[in-house]
């Protein structure tokens, strides 16, 4: 790949697209969700820790366990002073030595027990927090409007649930305890150092500004690269998800090598950013460790001088140099946690970015749930996915219960957009849409969608049995109703030829079924719904002509008492429609039944007779 192609690839997965560019679907190619500049770290930390606030008592226990662990470690170290002094003085004895060893054993036993308890409790707290975070995130994505999914990469959204939440979990499991322990150790060690020898304390403090400066410098650079790493990871996930989903298309057009080249580029981009992030995150430990070693050497030299000139005891020097190392150890440990902290905060920002997305507008106060018969009317409807590009212009039409209204026209003419507006996937800019003379904005959104069944061109089946997938259209449907719906959709015969019939488990979005069979199940799912309004968006485009004839007979029974809106490229499928709307550039340029439109000898006539083609 040349540099220009690389830039185009990055831009393709790094920007939001105009939904109106999505050919034939009313949406655009999915792009990367922008993460923007790092948000307020304090705000992110505050929101993150609100998920563990419900376990305050457990956190209190963890806090006390950390205190016992830390104080025990400090006390055990200080016991070396009398032991060393005893061994270097004439008054030492085996009994005293064994006594001190017994005390040290008891102290370190309490340390071991407290470490076990704090780890066990903290894991429970953190996993409970992650469970709540995942639930909140999943609940949020269920409430987001269709516009969000039309303009964001699915793989990048998925990475919020996997990579980002995992990074947060790693921090909650270990880093919180390390922060508390490190702080207590730092304060305790400093106090004991001053108590042991204030002169050596000043010597140790001489290199602290160097540690602080080095830590801040490395942390500043590391934070930037960790944010870039998380963004590149989401980009790569999005590309993999899109390529795997479209693998048949990749093979049909022999794009395997192109896909490999593009993946290699994105993979190399991620690897280069990971190298920088891991390097600057990992270099913190060695930098701080070397400064600590210099401090240790300087303290030992000065301490030796004090022992010779001022009578400073050997045990005190032994304890102090040990504390000087312990003093830098929590700083080193915290610096070593920077990888986890930066990665977790970057992941948390990305998770909260999704959770801060605007949800679908709530229903109006007093929203209605009236009985719906299916009289649909559009009055001067104007709509655009973006304010600067209008998709529908002053569209007016009506459909009565039992009528079949068809939409034909070129790709991008606005056919699918009309159906997206009826179930309020998007809200119109001006005009009015009513059902049974009630503005759809005055109807509860959930209730509205319960009364609108859709069969889309893109089939989607869920993991489970065929019976479960058909029942998805109405969860309280009986087995008998499921079979009747399958017969209506002409799916019963092929289902019964399967080894397990209706109990056949569907795998990988129906990979073990043909495209036509998957579409028949989608139609059966709509058939079992009692919705009085039915939308068929290229519903028979994936089946052969023979199967289409069977479906049409079943659909005629299905549509007898329903208001049906049909989008079709095969004009032969709409000849029996009560009215056909010909859309071009967002406007209805012709309307009437099949015979009337042929008599007009306009756009529909040209399409039907083959004088022109749908573009």
Tens of pLDDT, residues 304-318: 888 877 777 777 777
- Residue 17's Cβ-side half-sphere holds a number of Cα atoms within 13 Å equal to 21
Residue 529 structure tokens? 């719904």
Contacts of 156 (CB under 8 A, 6+ apart): 32, 33, 234, 235, 237, 238
Q: Would you say 564 and 404 are in contact if contact means Cβ atoms under 8 Å apart?
A: yes
Looking at the DSSP assignment, which residues form a beta bridge with residue 382? 430
Residue where a domain terminates, one of 294, 329, 355 = 355
The single-letter DSSP state of residue 577 is -
206 vs 184: CA distance, rounded Å: 21
Let me know if residue 499 belongs to a domain.
Answer: yes
Contacts of 211 (CB under 8 A, 6+ apart): 288, 291, 292, 328, 331
Let me know if residue 20 belongs to a domain.
Answer: no
Q: Would you say 569 and 541 are in contact if contact means Cβ atoms under 8 Å apart?
A: yes
Let me know if residue 605 belongs to a domain.
Answer: yes
Looking at the DSSP assignment, which residues form a beta bridge with residue 584? 587
- Domain of 320 in residue numbering reads as 40-355
Note the pLDDT of residue 37: 37
Q: Would you say 123 and 56 are in contact if contact means Cβ atoms under 8 Å apart?
A: no
What are the backbone dihedrals phi and psi of residue 612, each rounded to the nearest 5 degrees, phi first? -145, 165
Q: Between the CA of residue 239 and those of 163, 242, 285, 362, what are the distances in Å? A: 15, 5, 35, 34
Both 273 and 136 in one domain: the answer is yes
47 vs 132: CA distance, rounded Å: 13
Q: Between the CA of residue 418 and those of 174, 371, 523, 604, what are the distances in Å? A: 52, 23, 20, 19
Both 74 and 171 in one domain: the answer is yes
Q: Would you say 303 and 321 are in contact if contact means Cβ atoms under 8 Å apart?
A: yes
Note the pLDDT of residue 378: 94
Burial 490-519 (b: 16+ CB within 10 A, else e): bbbebbeeeeeebeeebeeebeebeebbbb
| Rg of the chain on CA atoms, in Å | 35
Both 114 and 263 in one domain: the answer is yes
Residue where a domain terminates, one of 355, 371, 393 = 355
Let me know if residue 172 belongs to a domain.
Answer: yes
Let me know if residue 11 belongs to a domain.
Answer: no
Note the pLDDT of residue 447: 92
3-class SS shares of the chain: helix, strand, coil, % to 5: 65, 10, 25
Note the pLDDT of residue 42: 80
- CA nearest neighbour of 176 among 118, 218, 216, 229: 118
- CA nearest neighbour of 346 among 183, 215, 159: 159
- CA nearest neighbour of 558 among 491, 456, 610, 489: 489
Q: At what angle do helices 338-355 and 208-245 cross, to 10 degrees?
A: 50
- CA nearest neighbour of 596 among 611, 580, 612: 580
Note the pLDDT of residue 16: 38
Both 308 and 218 in one domain: the answer is yes
Note the pLDDT of residue 588: 93
Let me know if residue 75 belongs to a domain.
Answer: yes
Residue where a domain terminates, one of 333, 355, 377 = 355
Note the pLDDT of residue 336: 64
Residue 219 structure tokens? 């942390």
Mean pLDDT by 10 residues, the chain (615 residues): 67 46 35 42 84 86 87 78 72 74 86 89 89 92 86 80 87 78 78 81 77 74 77 81 76 79 87 83 73 76 79 77 72 67 85 90 86 93 87 92 89 85 91 94 92 82 88 90 89 91 83 81 87 83 67 69 84 85 92 92 86 58
Where helices occur in 256-313 by DSSP H, the ranges are: 256-282, 284-309
Note the pLDDT of residue 252: 66
Both 377 and 507 in one domain: the answer is no
Q: Between the CA of residue 413 and those of 25, 384, 583, 585, 587, what are the distances in Å? A: 10, 12, 6, 5, 8
Note the pLDDT of residue 25: 35
Both 200 and 55 in one domain: the answer is yes
The single-letter DSSP state of residue 532 is S
Note the pLDDT of residue 308: 75
Both 247 and 285 in one domain: the answer is yes
Query: Which pairs with CB-CB distance under 8 Å and at least 24 residues apart come from 277-282?
Result: 277/222, 277/225, 277/226, 277/228, 277/229, 277/339, 277/342, 277/343, 278/339, 280/218, 280/221, 280/222, 280/225, 281/222, 281/225, 281/226, 281/338, 281/339, 281/342, 282/339
- CA nearest neighbour of 512 among 108, 438, 521, 162: 521
Let me know if residue 13 belongs to a domain.
Answer: no
Q: Would you say 570 and 536 are in contact if contact means Cβ atoms under 8 Å apart?
A: no
Both 517 and 391 in one domain: the answer is no
Q: Would you say 97 and 83 are in contact if contact means Cβ atoms under 8 Å apart?
A: yes
287 vs 272: CA distance, rounded Å: 22
Both 177 and 304 in one domain: the answer is yes
Query: How far from the centroid of its chain's Cα atoms is residue 446's Cα?
Result: 24
Query: How far from the centroid of its chain's Cα atoms is residue 420's Cα?
Result: 24
Both 245 and 325 in one domain: the answer is yes
Both 238 and 191 in one domain: the answer is yes
What are the backbone dihedrals phi and psi of residue 132, each rounded to the nearest 5 degrees, phi first? -65, -40
Number of independent structural domains in the chain: 3
Pairing of the two strands 587-592 and 430-435: unpaired
Both 389 and 349 in one domain: the answer is no
CA-angle at 315, arms to 310 and 319, nearest 5°: 105
Q: List the CATH number of the domain containing 134.
A: 1.20.1560.10
553 vs 221: CA distance, rounded Å: 67
Let me know if residue 35 belongs to a domain.
Answer: no
Note the pLDDT of residue 202: 83
Q: Would you say 311 and 73 are in contact if contact means Cβ atoms under 8 Å apart?
A: no
Helix, strand, or coil (residue 82): helix
């Amino acid at each position: 790949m040349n540099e220009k192609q690389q830039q185009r690839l990055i831009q393709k997965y790094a920007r939001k697209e105009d939904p109106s560019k999505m050919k034939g679907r009313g949406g655009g190619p999915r792009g990367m969700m922008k993460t923007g500049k790092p948000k307020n770290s304090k705000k992110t930390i505050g929101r993150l820790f609100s998920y563990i606030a419900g376990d305050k008592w457990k956190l209190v226990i963890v806090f006390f366990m950390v205190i016992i662990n830390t104080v025990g470690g400090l006390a055990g170290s200080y016991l070396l002073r009398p032991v060393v002094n005893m061994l270097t003085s004439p008054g030492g004895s085996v009994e005293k030595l064994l006594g001190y060893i017994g005390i040290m054993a008891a102290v370190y036993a309490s340390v071991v027990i407290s470490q076990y308890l704090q780890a066990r409790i903290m894991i429970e707290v953190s996993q409970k927090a992650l469970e709540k975070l995942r639930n909140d995130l999943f609940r949020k994505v269920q409430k987001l409007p269709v516009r969000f999914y039309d303009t964001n990469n699915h793989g990048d959204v998925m990475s919020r649930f996997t990579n980002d939440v995992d990074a947060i979990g790693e921090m909650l499991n270990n880093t919180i305890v390390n922060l508390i322990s490190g702080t207590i150790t730092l304060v305790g060690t400093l106090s004991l150092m001053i108590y042991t020898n204030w002169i050596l304390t000043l010597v140790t403090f001489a290199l602290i500004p160097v540690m602080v400066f080095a830590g801040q410098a490395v942390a500043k650079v590391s934070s930037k690269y960790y944010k870039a790493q998380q963004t590149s990871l989401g980009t790569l996930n999005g590309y993999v998800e899109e390529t795997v989903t479209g693998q048949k298309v990749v093979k049909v057009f022999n794009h395997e090598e192109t896909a490999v080249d593009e993946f290699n580029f994105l993979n190399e981009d991620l690897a280069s950013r990971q190298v920088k992030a891991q390097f600057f995150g990992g270099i913190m430990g060695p930098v701080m460790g070397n400064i600590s070693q210099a401090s240790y050497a300087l303290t030992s030299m000065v301490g030796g001088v004090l022992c010779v000139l001022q009578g400073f005891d050997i045990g005190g020097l032994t304890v102090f140099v040990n504390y000087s190392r312990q003093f830098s150890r929590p700083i080193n440990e915290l610096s070593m946690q920077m990888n986890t902290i930066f990665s977790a905060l970057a992941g948390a920002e990305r998770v909260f970015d999704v959770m801060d997305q605007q949800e679908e507008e709530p229903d109006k106060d007093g929203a209605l749930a009236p009985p719906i018969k299916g009289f649909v009317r559009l009055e001067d409807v104007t709509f655009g996915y973006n304010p600067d590009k209008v998709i529908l212009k002053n569209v007016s039409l009506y459909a009565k219960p039992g009528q079949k209204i068809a939409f034909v026209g070129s790709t991008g003419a606005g056919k699918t957009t009309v159906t997206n507006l009826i179930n309020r996937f998007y809200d119109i800019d001006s005009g009015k849409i009513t059902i049974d003379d009630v503005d759809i904005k005055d109807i509860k959104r959930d209730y509205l969608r319960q009364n609108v069944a859709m069969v889309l061109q893109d089939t989607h089946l869920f993991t489970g049995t065929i019976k479960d997938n058909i029942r998805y259209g109405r969860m309280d449907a009986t087995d008998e109703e499921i079979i009747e719906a399958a017969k209506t959709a002409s799916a019963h015969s092929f289902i019964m030829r399967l080894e397990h019939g209706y109990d056949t488990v569907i795998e990988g979005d129906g990979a073990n079924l043909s495209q036509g069979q998957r579409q028949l199940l989608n139609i059966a799912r709509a058939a079992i719904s009692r919705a009085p309004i039915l939308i068929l968006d290229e519903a028979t485009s994936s089946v052969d002509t023979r199967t289409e004839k069977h479906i049409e007979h079943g659909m005629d029974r299905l549509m007898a008492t329903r208001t049906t809106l049909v989008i079709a490229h095969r004009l032969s499928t709409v000849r029996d429609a009560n009215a056909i709307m010909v859309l071009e550039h967002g406007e209805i340029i012709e309307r009437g039944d099949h015979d009337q439109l042929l008599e007009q000898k306009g756009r529909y006539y040209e399409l039907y007779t083959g004088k022109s083609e749908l573009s």
